[in-house]
């Protein structure tokens, strides 16, 4: 099993949440890989083209430092 966590600053990067994720992953026996996927807004134009409001408007994209911090918390 692969675990893929999208890292959205101020939404999914809280230290306590990441520690709970770490505990959950540790409870699983079949995890082969854990990936941290940094949030980006490259698909925003698709929402706009559909005439929909972008639900993550105003949130910044995740940086390499954000990903590094999450990996350190998760011990990856």
What tokens appear for 69 in the block? 């911090």
Per residue in 42-70, pLDDT (tens digit) is: 999 999 999 999 999 999 999 999 999 99
Share above pLDDT 90 across residues of the chain, in percent, rounded to a whole number: 97
H-type alpha helices, 5-63: 15-26, 44-49
- Alpha carbon distance 1, 58 (integer Å): 33
Whose CA is closest to 3, among 38, 36, 34, 42? Answer: 34
Rounded to two decimals, what is the model's pTM? 0.85
- 5, pLDDT greater than 90: yes
Q: Are 72 and 47 in contact (CB under 8 A)?
A: no
What tokens appear for 7 in the block? 């890292």
Q: Write down the mean pLDDT value for the chain.
A: 95
């Amino acid at each position: 099993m692969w675990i893929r966590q999208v890292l959205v600053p101020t939404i999914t990067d809280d230290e306590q949440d990441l520690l709970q994720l770490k505990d959950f992953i540790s409870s699983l026996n079949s995890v082969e890989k854990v990936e941290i996927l940094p949030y980006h807004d490259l698909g925003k134009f698709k929402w706009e083209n559909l005439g929909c409001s972008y639900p993550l408007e105003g949130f910044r994209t995740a940086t390499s430092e954000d990903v590094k911090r999450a990996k350190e918390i998760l011990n990856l």
